[in-house]
Structure 1
Amino acid sequence: MFAIKKINNNVAVCKDGNGCELIAFGKGIGFPQMPYEIKLENIDRTFYNISAQYMGLMNELPMDIIEFTMKILPVVQSKLDYDLNPNLVLTLADHLAFAMERERKKIYIEMPLIYDMEQQYPMEMKLSRYIVAQLDKVFHVKLKRNELSGVAMSIISAKITSEQKTKGTDKIDFEGVLKDIGRIIEKELHIVVNKESFDYARFATHMKYLLDRICSKQYIDTDNITLYQNLREEFADISRCVDCIIEYLNQKLDCEVTEEEKMYLILHVNRICSKEKCAEETEDGKGNR
């Protein structure tokens, strides 16, 4: 195996014997001059099929959070009857890092009602409780109970169907659609979205999954009408923004978007909005010192 590109001191992009690219984790593997042949005993863990846009963003996440996520994901996957997207190792790490940051700063964000999530996604909620408990043991940060649903939604959003593995957005100008959606969010919510942020990359990945499902006619629909209505009431301004996004997608792609998909969109747009507000509050705090 050859290390071909340094991400940080402990992470590198590598090529295996078949010429396939992967992300390798191991103490100090990013130090030597690239490229070089790396000994397998120096590699702790490898991940295939992580999207290229995430590789350069790994430096934004604390390494201990990534390592924590790497250790718990095999447990999570073993309890589920569907495959998880490889990007989850980073998207979940990002979610947990952001949740801990909010907890330390006492910035709280309303999440979907725990009861509804327990009814609709019992296994994902069980795994969420396990993750949050392990997080407390390792980092000594006790997240609020309502964070459980957010962690569970990260898992649910990473679900891969067999159709998504074989069909994609090849016939869609994905970058153009994403830019248009970004403009809608900025206009409707009066924010400036940082297109270089990890959170935006995560949103972009979710949008690609959504468009993949639209292309393959594989819609998520689990009759979550109660949870969807609750979210619309809790996040009225974001719901209106999502309505504008759906109207745009209908006109652009002549597509059907289920209420379940709308629910996910509300959560993801809310997260972008919340991240921007969190950053603004931090900057305000600096300016007032």
Structure 2
Amino acid sequence: MQVIKKINNNFAICVDGEGNELIAFGKGIGFPKVPYEIEDLSVINRTFYDIDQKYLELLNELPEKVFHFTVKFIDIAKNELDYELNPNLVLTMADHINFCIQRAKKNIYVQMPLIYEIENTFPKEAKLGKYAVKQMERRFAVRLNQNEASGIAMNLVNARYNTKSQKDEVDKLEMEYDDILEDTISIVENEIGILIERDSFNFARYTSHLMYLLKRIANHQTLDSDNGIMYQSMREEFPEIAACVDLFDQYFRRKCKIKLSDEEKLYLILHINRICVREGL
């Protein structure tokens, strides 16, 4: 294996015997003058392929202890999830975890989506997120809000490795996200006759849910469960909101060529109801 560029004392860009570029970790491999050949491969503790160059600077910013914790966590996630993860996740997740730890040490709280909401949509990822939070508290001696698990879970969801055609579809929908957000909110405002507070926490939760919905659409996934009775109950309890969601369904059929499942509509009713509730009234 040939070292072609130093990142820091323990990380370097290398080329393997097949001519493939990779990132290698090993104590002191960045010390010698490059390029040079590593004769004893036992000095290499770990290799990482297909890492985007734009993320390499993170290796100079991340504490090594956090990086290694993240590597082991990603290994566990790969065994638990039934899809391939983007190779850049090891660095982006380490950056996210490091930020969580630093915030906790400074007693800075950032509002995150509620983990129980993520559990309904992404149960495996939520389980991994809760596991990571528990291990972070033990390993780094910090106290974390349990909703930090949702941020870790969504990092896993968003790192699902897509084919090129799927990625193009995701990119297209994300570019249209602002328009879709405003279109759906306009439906609510017009039908119910209220002005939605766009700086409220419940509105932020709705925007996150909508983004996850668009990603599921792009990946040809849908929520579908046995919540039919609850869906009918919610329609009866909030008929005006349910009518708005029916218009959402028509909108998505026209714009995205998909039909929302009852499960998707149930969660939309819940979120829209929250953003329509005026505090203090």
Equivalent in the alignment of 2:104? 103
Equivalent in the alignment of 2:245? none
Structural mapping, 1:136-151, within 5 Å: 136-151=137-152
| 2:19 is aligned with 1:19 | yes
Residues of 2 paired with 1:62 and 1:129: CA distance?
Answer: 22
- C-alpha contact (below 8 Å) 2:58/2:91 kept by paired residues: no
Task: Tell me the CA shift for residue 114 of structure 1.
Answer: 1.9
Equivalent in the alignment of 2:57? 56
- C-alpha contact (below 8 Å) 2:113/2:150 kept by paired residues: yes
Residues of 1 paired with 2:150 and 2:85: CA distance?
Answer: 18
Task: Tell me the CA shift for residue 45 of structure 1.
Answer: 0.6
The residue identity in structure 1 corresponding to 2:44 is: I
- C-alpha contact (below 8 Å) 1:24/1:47 kept by paired residues: yes
Residues of 1 paired with 2:41 and 2:164: CA distance?
Answer: 29
C-alpha root-mean-square deviation of aligned residues, in Å?
Answer: 3.7
Q: For the structure 1 residues 133 and 168, does the alpha-carbon distance in structure 2 shift closer, same or farther, using more than 3 Å as the test?
A: closer
Q: Secondary structure at the match of 2:7?
A: strand
Equivalent in the alignment of 2:130? 129
Residues of 1 paired with 2:18 and 2:257: CA distance?
Answer: 40
- C-alpha contact (below 8 Å) 1:219/1:258 kept by paired residues: no
More deviation, 20-29/135-144: 135-144
Residues of 2 paired with 1:100 and 1:258: CA distance?
Answer: 41
- C-alpha contact (below 8 Å) 1:220/1:258 kept by paired residues: no
- C-alpha contact (below 8 Å) 1:221/1:258 kept by paired residues: no
Q: Secondary structure at the match of 1:3?
A: strand
Task: Tell me the CA shift for residue 74 of structure 1.
Answer: 1.1
- C-alpha contact (below 8 Å) 1:2/1:35 kept by paired residues: yes
Residues of 2 paired with 1:91 and 1:257: CA distance?
Answer: 32
Residues of 2 paired with 1:20 and 1:60: CA distance?
Answer: 26
| 2:24 is aligned with 1:34 | no
Q: For the structure 1 residues 159 and 257, does the alpha-carbon distance in structure 2 shift closer, same or farther, using more than 3 Å as the test?
A: farther
Structural mapping, 1:162-201, within 5 Å: 164-165=163-164
Q: For the structure 1 residues 36 and 66, does the alpha-carbon distance in structure 2 shift closer, same or farther, using more than 3 Å as the test?
A: same
Task: Tell me the CA shift for residue 168 of structure 1.
Answer: 5.8
Task: Tell me the CA shift for residue 165 of structure 1.
Answer: 5.0
Equivalent in the alignment of 2:69? 68
Higher relative contact order structure (alpha carbons within 8 Å, sequence separation ≥ 6): 1
Residues of 2 paired with 1:24 and 1:81: CA distance?
Answer: 26
The unaligned stretches of length 5 or more in structure 2 are 176-198, 200-213, 225-254, 265-281
Task: Tell me the CA shift for residue 222 of structure 1.
Answer: 3.8
Equivalent in the alignment of 1:238? none
The residue identity in structure 1 corresponding to 2:128 is: L
- C-alpha contact (below 8 Å) 1:11/1:25 kept by paired residues: yes
The residue identity in structure 1 corresponding to 2:29 is: I
Task: Tell me the CA shift for residue 167 of structure 1.
Answer: 6.8
CA deviation digits over 1:116-137, x for unaligned, max 9? 1111111111111221222122
- C-alpha contact (below 8 Å) 2:166/2:219 kept by paired residues: no
Task: Tell me the CA shift for residue 57 of structure 1.
Answer: 3.1
- C-alpha contact (below 8 Å) 2:14/2:22 kept by paired residues: yes
| 2:28 is aligned with 1:5 | no
Q: Secondary structure at the match of 1:57?
A: helix
The residue identity in structure 2 corresponding to 1:22 is: L
Task: Tell me the CA shift for residue 220 of structure 1.
Answer: 5.6
Q: Secondary structure at the match of 2:153?
A: helix
The unaligned stretches of length 5 or more in structure 1 are 178-188, 190-209, 224-253, 261-289
Q: For the structure 1 residues 31 and 166, does the alpha-carbon distance in structure 2 shift closer, same or farther, using more than 3 Å as the test?
A: farther
Q: For the structure 1 residues 56 and 258, does the alpha-carbon distance in structure 2 shift closer, same or farther, using more than 3 Å as the test?
A: farther
Q: Secondary structure at the match of 2:65?
A: helix
Consecutive aligned runs of 4 or more in structure 1 exceeding 3 Å deviation:
165-169, 217-223, 254-260
Equivalent in the alignment of 2:89? 88
Equivalent in the alignment of 1:119? 120
- Number of matched pairs: 199
Structure (1 or 2) with the larger CA radius of gyration: 2
The residue identity in structure 2 corresponding to 1:104 is: K
Task: Tell me the CA shift for residue 67 of structure 1.
Answer: 1.3
| 2:159 is aligned with 1:158 | yes
